[in-house]
A and B are shown apart, each in its own frame.
Chain A
């Protein structure tokens, strides 16, 4: 038997035509699990931008919003500023470790259940079945000459696919702007060009990837199968055909019974091809693990159904580990799933994953919503003043990450006799501290001057302190350096 990936197809030679795949509908535990996950993921995707979250007058009230124009990211009670991008980096690290964890434990479960390509392809397949009927009807329709009924069905199918594509692309843009406003703008033609072009592009990709390319995306375009293949080990759960139980195949149930009666050896596989017919990537799992398998487990459902009908135990095709396979082949009992899942490698991954997550939660809880950062002016490093003192210049940034205006005091510590003023006033207003107003959700940037006596080390460390002057409180500090001319003896 040739697997789908290597099938040369009709064209032969250098380029192969994509073989048509008509996955049959199937019911079973894993199919229902897939339905559930599909419902949840699609619901999250379509509903999220419409959730509201009260943040006060100065901030948007959308629960999840990527505000590119103002460079803010809102996620419920959490607001991320550009300089806090490490939270996004942390999420990416967690996603990476999470993928290790998931793959080491349950193989390519991401591919089979949660990957958007899988979810939308599944949705498209279902729409196709609703319109064209199941596998056999689809094959028949495919072969039928183009007549009125075929035209109607094809038009209906592609329109439905395009509609899903549009809704998908349409939902995406709501993450980047106030959803109700944008919806109104979209329909009145006033929305930004980029909104329409994003919808157009995502509609096209959803339609092409979900309707036309399907498993080709998984097999030829997606890098995950290669990476995930490398992350599996002999104790990862993958979809496996238990050939020691199935082989030799018998052609049909009747023949199997006959053979057993004669005392001949007969495997459990009756070669009914149900597992191949339901496979969305069109492969034959009985050829062993292969890159085309997304471990969606639909073949398990199909075969379990067959096993039930011929009164054999379920699990001829099942989630199993390589280790289990060896044990079972020798007639032993497989390791319980609990022990497959709970082992040192998965604990290590989980530990890492949780540590990053906990670190982020702790730092989110501890982060101040007032932030001071100071950068010293280097050109010139210092300026000699006519009264003999020395002046340094700094650029300070006060970030007010609250959605209310705030007043803060900037003072200097550890620089005796030091006085500061900002570039919009003059030396006459030099004081030990400076008051700065910061608008809600804004950064106040000031060039400020610090004057200190001529005598002292050529480079002296000191600190800028920030104190909130309102009842809400808050403080921050930043280290800085004061430079003086080298003392000439």
Chain B
């Protein structure tokens, strides 16, 4: 607006000029179209309506509810409920299907694997890692080396009952003696057994120590780990001849294992999660690549 009462009119356009001037350039005072103003007022009216209809004004610990009681949380709740409803029949089918037969139904299996993937991210990644690759003391679930069982039912049992869970009669328990600590073997004998194990797992060439370890192994270890160090899944004894080591296959780690034994634990998920989720987890772990067919 010009403070000057005398209006200057631009001769070429007939439009009023602004009074200020920069380097000899004067600006036309072109009025805005009036509908523009109306549009602006309309947006104000719209916003007032919006504030009334939708939750808008923040209060101390909530916000105004809006006339229709709409909220984004409510929307989400509805969507979650709808998603659950669509899944209900699948979940029911999974619940009724014995785990061994899940694989016979590709759609159910697929649904279970997807559900298991989600449940794994919440419950299992803390120990087994986001890619289920595990770490020292926490088994890699991607590989085909299983302490107890690698088929669907076996994995399911491990999941339901856990490892060394007190109060669960069916929990998986393996009992390796602490050969060194309990003085069943001398430190030198432990070293010999380690040499032998490293020989059969093809990490070390034959040596006098390993030669001595052969007999020590046969007397003390073969009962559980097998004559050829192939392990025994019935008692959860690991295969010592393969290149996969839960606690490490180097001399120091093996010496520690033989001396003090290892006692890993896993929760009994059957006590914590609903049966369908546990089944789904079993299916997911089975699908990671190391899953086995049930032995006939």
Contacts and interface: CB of A to CB of B under 8 A. Distances in A.
Contacts of B36: 15, 220
B33 A384 contact: no
A386 B242 contact: yes
Nearest to B132: A380
Interface string B23-38: 0000010111111110
A449 to B, nearest CB: 5
A380 B131 contact: yes
Contact of A18 (B35, B109, B292): B35
Contacts of A18: 33-35
A424 B110 contact: yes
Contacts of A427: 144, 289-290, 292
Interface stretch (B13-21, B67-75, B190-198, B274-282): B13-21
A383 B129 CA distance: 14
A344 interface: no
A2 B28 CA distance: 13
A385 interface: yes
A379 B293 contact: no
Given A14-B1, A424-B110, A428-B293, A379 B130 contact: yes
B133 A379 contact: yes
Given A18-B33, A424-B106, A388 B289 contact: no
Given A385-B143, A387-B242, A449 B33 contact: no
Interface centre among B132, B143, B292 (most CB of A within 10 A): B143
B243 interface: yes
A391 to B, nearest CB: 6
Interface string B263-296: 0000000000000000000000001111111000
Contact of B144 (A379, A385, A423): A385
Interface stretch (A4-12, A177-185, A197-205): A4-12
Interface in A116-169: none
Given A380-B131, A426-B293, A428-B293, A386 B145 contact: yes
A276 to B, nearest CB: 15
Chain B: interface size category: 35 or more
A449 B143 CA distance: 11
A184 B33 CA distance: 43
B243 A16 contact: no
B159 to A, nearest CB: 18
Given A383-B133, A428-B293, A11 B34 contact: yes
Interface residues of A, number: 38
Contacts of A216: 33, 35
B289 A449 contact: yes
Interface string A415-435: 000000001101110000000
A3 B35 contact: no
A384 to B, nearest CB: 6
Interface centre among A7, A9, A380 (most CB of B within 10 A): A380
A18 B287 CA distance: 70
A9 B290 CA distance: 81
Interface string A1-32: 11101111101111111100000000000000
Contacts of A13: 1, 31
A11 B31 contact: yes
Given A380-B133, A427-B144, A2 B14 contact: yes
A17 B34 contact: yes
Contacts of B239: 386
A213 interface: yes
Contact of B289 (A9, A12, A391): A391
A216 B32 CA distance: 11
B259 interface: no
A191 B129 CA distance: 48
Contact of B14 (A7, A12, A17): A7
Nearest to B289: A449
A393 interface: yes
14 contacts: A1-B14, A2-B15, A6-B13, A16-B31, A16-B33, A17-B34, A380-B132, A380-B133, A391-B289, A423-B288, A424-B106, A424-B287, A427-B289, A427-B290
Please list the 10 inter-chain residue pairs (A to B) with the smallest Cβ-Cβ separation, ordered nearest first: A379-B131, A2-B14, A380-B133, A386-B242, A16-B31, A6-B15, A383-B142, A15-B34, A386-B145, A6-B13
Given A17-B34, A380-B142, A384-B143, 14 more contacts: A8-B31, A13-B31, A14-B32, A15-B31, A379-B133, A380-B132, A383-B140, A383-B142, A384-B140, A393-B142, A423-B113, A424-B287, A426-B291, A426-B292
Interface of A: 1-3, 5-9, 11-18, 213, 216, 220, 377-380, 383-388, 391, 393, 423-424, 426-428, 447, 449
